[in-house]
Amino acid sequence: MASAGKERPLPPALPLATLIGRELRAGGSERPTLRYGHAGFAKRGEDYFLVKPDCLRVPGDPSTAFSVFAVFDGHNGVSAAVYSKEHLLEHVMSALPPDIGRDDWLQALPRALVAGFVKADIDFQRKGEVSGTTATLVVVDGFTVTVASVGDSRCILDTQGGEVQLLTVDHRLEENAEERERVTASGGEVGRLNLFGGQEVGPLRCWPGGLCLSRSIGDMDVGEFIVPIPHVKQVKLSNVGGRLIIASDGIWDALPSEAAANACRGLPAELAAKLVVKQALKKSGLKDDTTCVVVDIIPSNYRLTSPQLSPKRNQIKIKSLLFGRRSHSSIGKLGAKSASFGSVEELFEEGSAMLEERLGRNLSLKASSPPFRCAICQVDQEHSEGLMTENGGSYCSSPCSPWGGPYLCLDCRKKKDAMEGKRSSHSTACR
């Protein structure tokens, strides 16, 4: 989040392979330990969360382990949130190339997240249900954290030095001018609820539908300019680790990011999640569903069950590790060396709603000759079946706008054009 005063220029991003190589040379090749917890209270019962700590890139190979955590805040029913919890990760994984190493896998992950979110939206809308959901999906592989999000369920990172970083962007029309411009440019209308007599009340909404968000999964009763294309950010933590707090807007409407982080410092993840929820309820009451997932990424050299420590002293050590509060004097004694040691490297960030910018040209694995694989739904098709190629070949008689991205099947190209306001996804003719 932005801080007061003059902004310092960001250091140039380093290639992921460089960072991993640096970690290996420094002897930090051991994977961190993850500790996690969750808590929540239901008002409407539309919040869902996902915890999958033991995923494998290569089945049977524990060295390829990664973990996934997610929060889904449904609206207009629970169907979209339930579907996303059960299938979103599957769609993301299907978009990743097989048989590649960790470096390439992490570099391909941001694009696969975009493809997976769009695929989930297309498949859910085929069910004909009008429910929608936010989605914040977090992938933790070693000290590398990748976050994809649509809507206003937020993920923050609390580092050992006490610096709080926002890893998501809120897609609320009230607060995001860039998204308001995109929606109106795509054919939507943005305004407040209009009561009898012309009085406008409440937050800015998108019409038709009246949704306060500009991005979500589902919501087929709202215009196609409400898109499922996620903001994606990938960072690499230093070897001191960090704490992730993933929560629905029931938390963030009550607590600023810094307040949520400060409230639970020094506590293990399970208690931390409960305390964040408790503080949110104390601040504003139970106005909405509140869901919080806390993930601690702990260096492997911090043994949580040391035989040399008594249970009480071991508990103190754990609390100190989990970002316990420090006095101003102790912070001052750490010096510049510790500040550098606890830094976070930004590897990737992109929030564009244009698929051509997000997918690029090289996501498709089978693009040189038939059959062609759609970069979103991963279905193989012959060119004669109505495929959109990167050379601009169209799937209908009159030419559509040139497409510079990877191959898209008929349905996914229709979805792309509909999201950009060029046609209805249910239409069969170009405009």
The strand pair at 144-150 and 164-166 is best described as unpaired
Could you tell me which residues come within 8 angstroms of residue 119 by beta carbon, excluding any fewer than 6 positions away? Answer: 91, 94, 95, 376, 377, 378
For 2-61, give the DSSP string: --SSPPPPPPPPPPHHHHHHHHHHTT--SPPEEEEEEEEE-SSS-EEEEEEEEEESSTT-
Please classify residue 128 by burial: count the beta carbons closer than 10 Å to its beta carbon, then call 0-12 exposed, 13-18 middle and 19+ buried.
exposed
pLDDT tens profile 164-176 = 999 999 999 999 9
Which one has a higher pLDDT value, 251 or 331?
Answer: 251
> Does position 6 have pLDDT exceeding 60, yes or no?
no
Query: What is the pLDDT, as a whole number, of residue 206?
Result: 92
> Does position 14 have pLDDT exceeding 80, yes or no?
no
> Does position 157 have pLDDT exceeding 90, yes or no?
yes
420 — pLDDT class (breaks 50, 70, 90): confident
> Does position 295 have pLDDT exceeding 70, yes or no?
yes
Percent of the chain with pLDDT over 90: 55
383 — pLDDT class (breaks 50, 70, 90): low
The whole-number average pLDDT for the span 4-29 is: 49
> Does position 414 have pLDDT exceeding 60, yes or no?
yes
Percent of the chain with pLDDT over 70: 74
Lowest mean per-residue pLDDT among 82-86, 133-137, 336-340: 336-340
pLDDT tens profile 199-257 = 889 999 999 889 999 999 999 988 889 999 999 999 999 989 999 999 999 999 999 99
What backbone torsions phi and psi does residue 78 show, to the nearest 5 degrees?
A: -100, -5
Query: What is the pLDDT, as a whole number, of residue 338?
Result: 31
What backbone torsions phi and psi does residue 127 show, to the nearest 5 degrees?
A: -75, -15
Task: Identify whether 370 is preceded by a cis peptide bond (ω within 30 of 0).
Answer: no
The whole-number average pLDDT for the span 122-147 is: 96
> Does position 395 have pLDDT exceeding 90, yes or no?
no
Query: Which tokens in the block code for residue 351?
Result: 């929030």
Lowest mean per-residue pLDDT among 15-19, 326-330, 344-348, 399-403: 326-330
> Does position 120 have pLDDT exceeding 80, yes or no?
yes
Query: What is the pLDDT, as a whole number, of residue 223?
Result: 83
Query: What is the pLDDT, as a whole number, of residue 7?
Result: 45
340 — pLDDT class (breaks 50, 70, 90): very low
Half-sphere exposure of 4 (CA within 13 A, CB side): 0
Query: Which tokens in the block code for residue 240?
Result: 């001191």
- 3-class DSSP assignment, residue 130: coil
pLDDT tens profile 301-327 = 775 433 333 344 444 444 444 544 433
Could you tell me where the DSSP H helices lie in 200-252?
A: 249-252
> Does position 281 have pLDDT exceeding 60, yes or no?
yes
Taking the C-alpha atoms of residue 183 and residue 189, their distance in angstroms, rounded to an integer, is 7
404 — pLDDT class (breaks 50, 70, 90): low
φ/ψ region of 295 (left if φ > 0, alpha if ψ in -120 to 50, else beta) reads beta
Contact call for residues 311 and 67 (beta carbons, < 8 A): no
183 — pLDDT class (breaks 50, 70, 90): very high
Question: How much is the pTM?
Answer: 0.81
Question: Average pLDDT, whole number, for the chain?
Answer: 80
The whole-number average pLDDT for the span 186-195 is: 89
Query: What is the pLDDT, as a whole number, of residue 50?
Result: 98
The size of the chain, in residues, is 431
Query: What is the pLDDT, as a whole number, of residue 269?
Result: 97
Taking the C-alpha atoms of residue 248 and residue 290, their distance in angstroms, rounded to an integer, is 6
Lowest mean per-residue pLDDT among 31-35, 131-135, 296-300, 375-379: 375-379
Biggest CA-to-CA distance, the chain: 76
In 3D, which of 32, 35, 218, 51 has the Cα closest to residue 120?
218
The whole-number average pLDDT for the span 125-145 is: 96
Task: Identify whether 228 is preceded by a cis peptide bond (ω within 30 of 0).
Answer: no
* Residue type at 154 in one-letter notation: R
Lowest mean per-residue pLDDT among 81-95, 242-256, 417-431: 417-431
Contact call for residues 146 and 110 (beta carbons, < 8 A): yes
129 — pLDDT class (breaks 50, 70, 90): very high
Query: What is the pLDDT, as a whole number, of residue 399?
Result: 37
- 209-221 in b/e form (b: 16+ CB < 10 A) is bebbbbbbbbbbb
